[in-house]
């Protein structure tokens, strides 16, 4: 916890308690009132590093209406797809730290440094973590016309025909990490095929051009509900209610480390703490609303809600973990 113009971490209750304590004591009132009255004075850009229709885009649009209402200004979503979110991240890293340009960041934020020889920014130095919103498990899907009804049947086919293609939403994404780990665990040879986002990667599986994919559930669930994708296993620690009867990879005998992607908000380095606190508090308040959480769960997501300090700690921890996985699996993008 920080005093004065700092934030109080620890979820919606902590945010509200911290604000009440400051107001009751008369501490920090001038800076709190000035920062929250002055921001935002104009529309806020929310940069998304993947195409419209994918899970990261869904997270952005989930926030759009309620935050526009809370802020009294438009929240303009800009999809800057490409290079596993690097294009969008660079744009935000080089933007003025005034709270008018934010990044809807996904978990590739913590893996890109491990797989790219160089990045046009420093992941730790050039960003301000604000709030982690929710996570969504990675799921092994096959197309509706594929014959396999279990992971074991897929593995048997992959061993018979080495090099089977598996689509990903981009190099170094959670789906790519899942493919690499699954290959080693199952003893099969697959060919990862990288797309510019989840939507086109899923479209080719639905259309039969690629037989399988490891995809984020949030983006794939509508297709699964329509019978256009078949879920074989959850690549996470537990089953999910929106896919009844679908086992985990561990239950199927092919356990891999959890690659569930997450979605959060970040800004450029140097973003003033009162603005960070305001944004984090508004998002954490949304996560205290059952209707908002239900929308996340209906898409196969798991509401988390980590404030700035906890989110920053997660980023540091996952960067170290992903670097180790990338070295072991030789995941590199030149």
DSSP 55-80: HHHHHHHHHHHHHHHHHTS-EEEEE-
Say if 51 falls within a structural domain.
Answer: yes
Kindly report the CATH number assigned to the domain that includes residue 193. 3.40.190.10
Q: Do 40 and 90 belong together in one domain?
A: yes
- Which range is least confidently modeled, 15-24, 33-42, 195-204? 15-24
Task: Kindly tell me if the per-residue pLDDT of 29 is higher than 90.
Answer: no
Give 297-311 pLDDT, tens digit per residue: 888 898 999 999 999
Indicate if 128 and 154 belong to the same structural domain. Answer: no
Domain identity same for 110 and 163: no
* 127-135 sheet: strands from edge to edge: 75-79, 44-48, 101-106, 262-268, 127-135, 302-306
* pLDDT tops 70 at residue 76: yes
pLDDT at 30 over 70: no
How much is the pLDDT for 198?
A: 86
> How much is the pTM?
0.77
Same domain, 145 and 179: yes
Residues 169 and 270 in one domain: no
**143 and 208 part of one domain:** yes
Report if residue 3 sits inside a domain.
no
- Please check whether residues 215 and 283 belong to one and the same domain: no
Environment class of residue 70 by beta-carbon count within 10 Å: exposed (0-12), middle (13-18) or buried (19+)? middle
Q: Is residue 178 part of a domain?
A: yes
- Residue 161: the pLDDT is 93
DSSP code for 299: T
Query: 328 CB contacts (<8 Å, ≥6 apart)?
Result: none
**pLDDT value at 1 more than 50:** no
Establish if 312 belongs to a structural domain. Answer: yes
Average pLDDT of the residues in 215-237: 93
> Which of 223, 227, 191 shows the shortest CA–CA distance to 210?
191
* pLDDT at residue 13 greater than cutoff 60: no
Residue 90, pLDDT above cutoff 80: yes
Q: How confident is the model at residue 37 (pLDDT cuts 50, 70, 90)?
A: low
% residues pLDDT > 70 (the chain): 89
What number is the average pLDDT over the span 38-59?
92
Tens digits of per-residue pLDDT, 127-169?
A: 999 999 999 999 999 999 999 999 999 999 999 999 999 999 8
Could you tell me if 118 and 265 lie in one domain?
A: yes
Domain check: are 272 and 312 in the same one?
yes
Q: Are residues 207 and 299 in the same domain?
A: no
User: Is-contact 25 56, C-beta < 8 A?
Assistant: no
Domain that holds residue 317: 11-135+261-329
Final residue in a domain of this structure, among 195, 217, 234: 234
- Domain endpoint, select from 199, 234, 269: 234
Closest by CA to 225, choosing from 211, 208, 243, 209, is 243
Stretch (H or E) spanning 203: helix 198-206
Q: Average pLDDT in the 97-125 region?
A: 96
Residues 185, 254: contact at Cβ < 8 Å?
Answer: yes
Residue 49 located in a structural domain = yes
Distance CA 311, CA 118 (A): 24
58 with 123, same domain: the answer is: yes
Q: Is residue 242 part of a domain?
A: no
Share of the chain above pLDDT 90, in %: 72
**pLDDT value at residue 152:** 98
Q: Is 255 among the domain residues? A: no
Domain count, the chain: 2
104 and 76 housed in the same domain: yes
Query: What confidence score (pLDDT) does residue 190 get?
Result: 97
CATH code, 294: 3.40.190.150
Q: Residue 21 phi/psi, 5° resolution?
A: -65, -40
Structural domain includes residue 73: yes
């Amino acid at each position: 916890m920080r005093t004065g113009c700092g934030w109080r971490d620890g979820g919606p209750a902590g945010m509200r308690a911290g604000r009440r304590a400051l107001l009751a004591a008369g501490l920090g009132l001038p800076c709190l009132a000035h920062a929250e009255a002055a921001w935002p004075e104009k529309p806020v850009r929310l940069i998304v590093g993947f195409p419209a229709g994918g899970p990261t885009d869904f997270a952005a649009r989930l926030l759009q209406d309620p935050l526009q209402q809370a802020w009294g200004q438009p929240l303009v979503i800009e999809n800057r797809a490409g290079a596993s979110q690097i294009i969008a991240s660079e744009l935000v890293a080089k933007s003025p730290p005034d709270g008018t340009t934010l990044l809807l960041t996904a978990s590739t934020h913590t893996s890109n440094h491990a797989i790219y020889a160089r990045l046009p920014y420093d992941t730790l130095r050039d960003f301000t973590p604000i709030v982690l919103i929710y996570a969504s498990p990675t799921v092994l899907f096959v197309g509706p016309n594929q014959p396999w009804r279990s992971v074991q049947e897929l593995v048997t086919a992959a061993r018979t025909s080495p090099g089977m293609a598996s689509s990903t939403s981009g190099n170094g994404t959670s789906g790519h990490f899942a493919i690499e780990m699954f290959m080693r665990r199952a003893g099969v040879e697959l060919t990862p095929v990288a797309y510019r986002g989840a939507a086109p990667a899923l479209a080719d599986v639905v259309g039969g051009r690629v037989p399988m994919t490891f995809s984020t559930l949030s983006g794939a669930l509508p297709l699964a509900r329509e019978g256009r994708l078949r879920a074989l296993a959850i690549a996470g620690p537990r089953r999910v209610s929106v896919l009844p009867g679908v086992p985990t990879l561990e239950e199927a005998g092919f356990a891999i480390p959890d690659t569930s992607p997450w979605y959060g908000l970040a800004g450029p380095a140097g973003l003033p703490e009162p603005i960070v606190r305001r944004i984090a508090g508004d998002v954490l308040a949304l996560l205290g609303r059952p209707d908002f959480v239900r929308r996340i769960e209906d898409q196969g997501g798991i509401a988390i809600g980590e404030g700035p300090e906890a989110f920053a700690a997660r980023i540091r921890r996952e960067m170290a973990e992903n670097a180790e996985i990338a070295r072991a699996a030789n995941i590199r993008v030149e």
